[in-house]
Amino acid sequence: MIDLKKLLKNPEYFKEACKKKNVEVDIDLLIEKKKKQNEIIKLRDELKHQLNIKSKTKPDPKEIEKLKEIKEKIKKLDEEIEKLEKEIFDIARKIPNPPFDWVPVGKNEEENVVIKEVGEKTKFDFEFQDYLTLAEKLDIIDVKRASKISGSRFGYLKGRAAILEFAIVKFVFDELTNIETIEKIIKENNLDLKIKEFMPIVPPVMIKPDIMWGLGYVDDGDIEVFKIPEDNLVLVGTAEHSIAPYFKDEILLEKDLPIRFIGFSTCFRREAGSYGKDVRGILRVHQFDKLEMVSFSLPEKSVEEHKFLLAIEEYLMQKLKIPYRVVHICTGDLGHPTAEKFDIEAWIPSENKYRETHSCSNTTDFQARRLNIKFKRKNKLEYVHILNATAFAIGRIIIAIIENYQTKEGRIKIPEALIKYTGFDII
């Protein structure tokens, strides 16, 4: 939720933000309703003041009738204030988090900006196979049997692929709970941040609908969630959905920030619509596992914290030696709650292109306002800034490993950084 006080002071800024994000909101109508509401509040408060004064005296029957009239007027004004509050809220919730001034302006994903490419694109001197063809030959991914059991867009990870998944989880947990690794990344990127590791967390995968609304993804239809109406719950689309609300309605202390979590969770997406080849295999599925970083930051440190999370994503990709590129997401492709976002895309040889494996977002105080997460600084309460970033979307990174590490003999080498966790160096 945006700050209404800021909007009233500078409506043009928020109009421009809506334009940049391709969102239509009648901000003038909101201002008109807010002014009307303020006038009614002033009138009601004046009547309450009169009532308060007169109630301290001994009224005669005539005055008692007048007091009853005043009370009735106050009741009607309260109803009008409440009605306007709902109307104002319904408009305000559609206003997206304004993008930072330096975010590239663009209409859609076609206008995202590639910042850099890291690592040489993998080339083979033999006829390589796409990940699913090779994985099925090695009997480590089974989507055919999964379709019999669960329908389309599901898959089994089997044998050494299943072991590889948990090797990736342990690798990430070890790296992000290592204070030396954190210090190294902060110093190498010249960041002025607190050297503090991440807290591992395994969060719930079902949350209340109002929590999903609080995250800001419902108002623009950004994420299509699975719903469980009988229990009034929804399944999370990413671990962030149940970690970001962790401190809902709480007041944190300035000295404790940043608070950083690294979560592992199964995630669920409806993924409505057709995506051609993406329907095949495990690239775009209804159920997947993910390692997600969430940080609760001081407002003045969130831009640097965002750079830090992106640097961690790059560090992890470099440890696995998978070629990738970093993309700065343009305004028209930003989600409703996001002020700035970067994606990392891994090189997929069989498609001869990069595919998204990570995102990294700064939602500033947008989610914190909706979730009512504040911190105390010198007896003053402020909203924290909330950031999220993918450590690994496990299915997608396994795809990238299979594609980039296959051998002439039709095997898959294990990235060196993961061998101590798998206990084997080839599949």
Catalytic residues: 269, 284, 356, 359, 396
Give the list of residues 6+ apart from residue 340 with CB closer than 8 angstroms, or none.
Answer: 99, 100, 103, 303, 306, 329, 334, 361, 362
Start-to-end CA distance of the chain, whole Å, equals: 48
Give the list of residues 6+ apart from residue 155 with CB closer than 8 angstroms, or none.
Answer: 141, 142, 143, 146, 281, 282, 285, 395
Give how far Cα 370 sits from Cα of 183, 253, 367, 386, Å.
32, 19, 5, 12
Give how far Cα 408 sits from Cα of 321, 412, 414, Å.
19, 9, 15
Give the list of residues 6+ apart from residue 251 with CB closer than 8 angstroms, or none.
Answer: 374, 375, 376, 381
Q: Could you identify the residue written with the tokens 């159920």?
A: 287
Angle separating helix axes 11-20 and 27-55, nearest 10 degrees: 140
**96: cis peptide before it, omega within 30°?**
no
